[in-house]
Structure 1
Amino acid sequence: MGLHTDFPDPSFLKAADGMWYAFATNGNGKRIQVASSKDFSSWTLLDIEALPTLSSWETDKDHYAPDVVLRDDGKYVMYYSGEAKSDVGHHCVGTAIADNPTGPYVPSDTPLSCRLDQGGSIDPAGFKDKDGARYVTFKVDGNSVGHGGNCNNGIEPLVSTPIMLQKVQADGVTPIGDAVQILDRSTADGDGPLVEAPSLVLRGGTYFLFYSTHCYTDDAYDVRWATATNIAGPYTKTNVELVKTGDGLISPGGATVCGCGDRMLFHGWCDDSKKIRCMYYADVNLSGRTATIV
């Protein structure tokens, strides 16, 4: 285990100071939580509010699934899910900039993606391709406008919950063209009501798109992956559970895999009470089109 405290949807990066920093959904009295580690196994929760100010479009609640990237100019860009004032209960992907990995992050005036007519945009994650081009993956939160049941999307007709790929300029926040769909939930693939929490990694010419299926409250919540030889796809699902309930894990998911391809953070319920989600770490091996836990 990495952190025995409420630290859901963890993402991470190795900063310019050589430290690992992890970021998580609101909890422990913070909008965006931050933890640090020297060795990736022993983590310390920091008493820091990474996002002390808000943009005009968002409310002061439900800040989900932050992800931070180091920009070429040395600044840090945070992508996060914030609740839209114009459609309470639904979210947009916001961006914020900082000089240091722990912040303070200053939010941009305009969100990167909203798609509120489709349920909103959540779970953003940054990616830098081999040619230096930058992208952001995110989920269209279709199950938030579903028809009830499991994660509000267990009753027919089931709503699409696509994973999208948005190219951005070198600043990490200005979109280039429109986002393209690279994955979606499928009953045939056993995804349950949704796919979410994308994390994109390039290894040896193969793009690995990690994602979670089912509802985060279910024991069936997991981490799977799909692969492609082109960043925009088509992505082929393996339908293999890289991480699943068992061996002390309860509903593990919301994973981020290192760009180096050898380590991962994810969350799972801390215990059977299913009240808070702890952070876990694992070593990963990517070979060909296969991902395994070491």
Structure 2
Amino acid sequence: MWSSQLLPCAIGLASITNVLAFPLLDLKMGPVKVLDTDFPDPSFVQAADGTWYAFGSNGNGKRIQIASSPDFKTWTLLDKEALPTLAGWETNIDHWAPDVIRRDDGKYVMYYSGEAKEELRHHCVGVAVSEGTDPTGPYLPNTEPLSCHLAQGGSIDPAGFLDKDGSRYVVYKVDGNSIGHGGDCNNGVDPLVSTPILLQKVKSDGFTPDGDAVSILDRDQSDGPLVEAPNLILHEDTYFLFYSTHCYTDIQYDVRYATSKSITGPYIKTGNQLVKSGEYDLTSPGGGTVCGCGDRMLFHGFCREDVRCTYAADISIVGDQVYLL
């Protein structure tokens, strides 16, 4: 996850002057497929030398996948396992939605979803810290997870955030649909289960909880069975919480965003679909991660049967509105 401690981002395809003057002008260039392989739930971080690194859910024989890019346009899948060892609480399967931040000491912290041995088919949010200052790892997992909420379905989809005052946070989803009553993503049959997005403040190490987690968003009828894949950024004086709605296999899966003037909310859903099926030949796009500088993003979408490729897109934020370029 990008944070303000990283290098400044380049301006997107359209000049900021033009976007500010004509925010509704049809300037769309559209997303570009940058990894033509199964690389779901992409997140990214920029290293001190300017290189970008993306991290994806298990696939291609790896628990946590890594790709790199010198310019955010050309990406290369690396033949390296980011998480070669596991903690005692997790099984060896289903490592989902990793997110990486660079810490003040130059090391990197990875948040990820791992299956809990205590309750199979349910997940906890794990934390692993890089051995050195190489963003590709290896990452060594902490002995205890950051969050589980197993009674409510588990915890998944973590993402780190560095606020303007230097405070660190992690957002994640309580996976309520995993204990739903069937139907779409196991939560399409009444009574539908809550799938809240929680905000956990952490200390400077990136993983020690500082107070209790607070709920900042939840599903409603417009979201289908769930909200998930949260990603939090601050642009000027507005917090933007990006998230996906509906089931990842559903044609309605998308990336939306809510806004707030306070880190803890309330977050107001805009209903705007930043990426959705049917545009730019996308199918079930979601799991989006947006750069904190507000000019680029990565997300996945089905490119072949059972294969979710990674796409890059330029965006622009004007006030409390986000535009795909």
Q: Sort the TM-score into its range (normalised by shorter chain).
A: over 0.9
Aligned partner (choices 159, 166, 170) of residue 125 of structure 1: 159
1:239 aligns with 2:268: no
Residue 34 of structure 2 aligns to a residue in which SS? Answer: coil
Residue 27 of structure 1 aligns to a residue in which SS? Answer: coil
Q: How many angstroms apart in 2 are the aligned matches of 1:275 and 1:210? A: 24
1:156 aligns with 2:174: no
1:85 aligns with 2:88: no
Residue 39 of structure 1 aligns to a residue in which SS? Answer: coil
Matches within 5 A, 1:55-70: 55-70=87-102
1:113 aligns with 2:144: no
The residue identity in structure 2 corresponding to 1:174 is T
Aligned partner (choices 257, 263, 267) of residue 300 of structure 2: 267
The residue identity in structure 2 corresponding to 1:251 is S
Q: How many angstroms apart in 2 are the aligned matches of 1:13 and 1:3? A: 16
The residue identity in structure 2 corresponding to 1:91 is H
- What is residue 277 of structure 1 aligned with on the other side? 308
Instruction: Tell me how far 1:17 sits from its aligned partner.
Output: 2.4
Structure 2, gaps ≥5 residues long: 1-32
- What is residue 249 of structure 1 aligned with on the other side? 282
- What is residue 37 of structure 1 aligned with on the other side? 69
The residue identity in structure 1 corresponding to 2:111 is Y
Q: How many angstroms apart in 2 are the aligned matches of 1:150 and 1:15? A: 39
Q: How many angstroms apart in 2 are the aligned matches of 1:120 and 1:209? A: 21
Q: How many angstroms apart in 2 are the aligned matches of 1:147 and 1:268? A: 26
1:3 aligns with 2:18: no
The residue identity in structure 2 corresponding to 1:61 is I
Matches within 5 A, 1:121-270: 121-187=155-221, 190-246=222-278, 247-270=280-303
Residue 284 of structure 2 aligns to a residue in which SS? Answer: coil
Q: How many angstroms apart in 2 are the aligned matches of 1:17 and 1:61? A: 33
Once the two structures are overlaid, the 10-residue window that deviates more, 25-34 or 257-266, is 257-266
Q: How many angstroms apart in 1 are the aligned matches of 2:94 and 2:259? A: 31
Q: How many angstroms apart in 1 are the aligned matches of 2:48 and 2:152? A: 38
The residue identity in structure 1 corresponding to 2:183 is G
Q: Deviations over 1:113-143 (max 9, x none)?
A: 0000000000000000000000000000000
Residue 2 of structure 1 aligns to a residue in which SS? Answer: strand
Instruction: Tell me how far 1:261 sits from its aligned partner.
Output: 1.0
Structure 1, gaps ≥5 residues long: none
Instruction: Tell me how far 1:2 sits from its aligned partner.
Output: 1.0
1:51 aligns with 2:50: no
Once the two structures are overlaid, the 10-residue window that deviates more, 239-248 or 69-78, is 239-248
Instruction: Tell me how far 1:287 sits from its aligned partner.
Output: 1.2
- What is residue 128 of structure 2 aligned with on the other side? 96
Q: TM-score, normalised on structure 2?
A: 0.89
Q: How many angstroms apart in 2 are the aligned matches of 1:222 and 1:69? A: 24
Residue 270 of structure 1 aligns to a residue in which SS? Answer: strand
Q: How many angstroms apart in 2 are the aligned matches of 1:80 and 1:287? A: 31
Q: How many angstroms apart in 1 are the aligned matches of 2:173 and 2:318? A: 26
Q: How many angstroms apart in 2 are the aligned matches of 1:18 and 1:289? A: 28
Q: How many angstroms apart in 2 are the aligned matches of 1:107 and 1:147? A: 33
Q: TM-score, normalised on structure 1?
A: 0.98
What is the aligned-residue RMSD (CA, Å)? 0.5
Residue 266 of structure 1 aligns to a residue in which SS? Answer: strand
Identical columns (%): 69
Instruction: Tell me how far 1:16 sits from its aligned partner.
Output: 1.4
Instruction: Tell me how far 1:216 sits from its aligned partner.
Output: 0.3
Residue 218 of structure 1 aligns to a residue in which SS? Answer: coil
Q: Deviations over 1:173-208 (max 9, x none)?
A: 100111000000001xx1000000000010010000
